[in-house]
A and B are shown apart, each in its own frame.
Chain A
Amino acid sequence: MSKKIRVIYLYLVCLISLFLIVGAIISSVNYFAQYFFPTNSYSYSSFGDRKIELENDKIENLRNGISSLALLAVSTPLFIYHWKKVETERKEMEV
């Protein structure tokens, strides 16, 4: 029974980390694209305020992009480690 629970655990971690990887890649691309191509128009603030708002938005996007990259950096090794475990155990079973 413990072997079965182990298998379920391994596949579950692979599934969760794979979804995390996808989410992290998409959000990091989105935030870095927003960093290089600002999307807010600021048409109702004065020119000085607009500049400050633009700078703040850029910093916010950069921060979010870096946190998405951190998520990617954590979830990718997690997925690779568990997927390798699954594959090696499967090969051992086949032999």
Chain B
Amino acid sequence: MFNIGIVIIGILSVVLPLAISILIIVAIVKAVQANKKEDSFEKFESSIRSFYVYLILICFLFGTIGSTIYLFDSGMNLLLPKKESRTSSYYDYSSKNYDSLTKASPTLSVISKDNAEKNSNIVDLFTALAFLTVSLTIFIYHSKIAKENFDYKKEQKLTEKIV
């Protein structure tokens, strides 16, 4: 079963520092290049902006893919649960006298285990849905910004050519 802790820790401790360090390195390189070429501040800002936008786009593209797979996985687990063999391994520990372990009727513990598995799948489904919604929203918003940037740069190049 997919653990949500891995997703959150993965996002916060691996992807985020990596993204920040890449952004800082690119910003420093761009700043040095801009100083050498005596580029305008506008160009520097737009290159940092486009880098930021594409970084987020790639992160949340993978987020969307991962959450879709996670959603399907938890949905399938909920619809088609795995059947376990309930033969001889259920003992009643409710009487605290552990010396006399009596074989119990599997009703109480088995039902609670089944319920727990079902609830776990429901929790996974909700989490996957939240992850998918958030990542898709952020992806769409930033893809619009990227498109605007692209169009703006195209216009600028055209006006430069005309001039």
**Which A residues contact B (CB, under 8 angstroms)?**
1, 3-4, 7-8, 11-12, 14-16, 18-23, 25-27, 29-30, 33-34, 37-47, 50, 86, 90, 93
Contacts and interface: CB of A to CB of B under 8 A. Distances in A.
Contacts, number: 112
B27 A8 contact: yes
A41 B34 contact: no
Contact of A3 (B16, B41, B138): B41
20 contacts: A3-B41, A11-B23, A11-B52, A15-B16, A15-B55, A16-B16, A19-B15, A19-B16, A21-B134, A22-B11, A25-B134, A26-B7, A26-B131, A39-B120, A41-B109, A41-B117, A43-B112, A90-B45, A93-B41, A93-B42
A11 B12 contact: no
Given A11-B23, A22-B11, A33 B113 contact: no
Nearest to B145: A87
The 9 closest A-B pairs by CB, nearest first: A37-B119, A29-B130, A41-B116, A43-B109, A33-B126, A39-B120, A33-B123, A41-B113, A8-B27
Given A23-B8, A30-B123, 18 more contacts: A7-B48, A8-B27, A8-B31, A14-B52, A15-B52, A16-B20, A18-B56, A22-B135, A25-B130, A26-B4, A37-B123, A39-B119, A39-B123, A41-B116, A42-B112, A86-B49, A90-B45, A93-B42
Interface of B: 4, 7-8, 11-12, 15-16, 19-20, 23-24, 27, 31, 34-35, 41-42, 44-45, 48-49, 52, 55-56, 63, 93-96, 108-109, 112-113, 115-117, 119-120, 122-123, 126-127, 129-131, 134-135, 138
